[in-house]
Amino acid sequence: MNVLLINCSPVRNGATAEIIDLVERFLTPEYNVKKICIDDYKVNLCKGCRICHKTAECIQSDDVTMIIKELDCADIIISVSPSYWADVPGQFKVFIDRCTPWCDTHEPHAPIKNGKKGYTIALRTGPGMKECDRIIETIEHFYGHLKIQPVDSLGLCSVEYKADVKNKTDEIEKFCKNI
């Protein structure tokens, strides 16, 4: 089975990337794992023109279709997102907005293969889970419109730096065993 790990952070080597690396390590023996970082792609802002509601295609030319191809090849998608003002980072939100051609909110829409399972890991610097819950809700809502079945999620609090991830290794490993 193919797993796609999405680093939803614009920081390629921070705490989010450290979590991605752990998940990859825990899953690699059983799965074919690919990692991507949202910041490695050019994703233009949605123009709100709604042409995709009629054509199932976006008029813009950028890397969104490359990311969609990665999603389409995956059986399992794991999005790992830090909290930026109590939600996903702007770069990932822009990607979500640009996925409208593939979402079931209108007909026609461009399909991706069915049967995918989605997992979410949210992290934040503070001690409370409320922000993690909001991130998870955003990503699971996104999954739902792509017909990706949300299966499980993990919220990690008090994670600001890569070193903080070390204290969460057992939680992450337990989460990965349920995939």
Count structural domains, the chain.
Answer: 1
* Confidence at residue 178, expressed as pLDDT on a 0 to 100 scale: 97
3-state secondary structure the chain: CEEEEEECCCCCCCHHHHHHHHHHHHHCCCCEEEEEEHHHCCCCCCCCCCCHHHHCCCCCCCCHHHHHHHHHHCCEEEEEEECCCCCCCHHHHHHHHHCHHHCCCCCCCCCCCCCCEEEEEEECCCCCCHHHHHHHHHHHHHHHHCCCEEEEEEEECCCCCHHHHHHHHHHHHHHHHCC
Looking at the chain, the whole-number percentage of residues with pLDDT higher than 90 is 98
pLDDT at 149 (0 to 100): 98
Average model confidence (pLDDT) for the chain?
97
Identify the residue whose tokens are 């949202």: 38
The span from the CA of 99 to the CA of 115, in Å, is 18
* CB-based contact 82:164 (threshold 8 Å): no
Span 113-126, mean pLDDT? 97
The rounded distance, in Å, linking the Cα atoms of 22 and 178 is 15
> Given this model, what pLDDT does residue 168 score?
98
CATH at residue 161: 3.40.50.360
* Predicted confidence (pLDDT) per residue in 61-111, tens digit: 999 999 999 999 999 999 999 999 999 999 999 999 999 999 998 899 998
Whose CA is closest to 6, among 23, 29, 25?
Answer: 23
pTM of the model: 0.97
Give the structural domain span for 23: 2-177
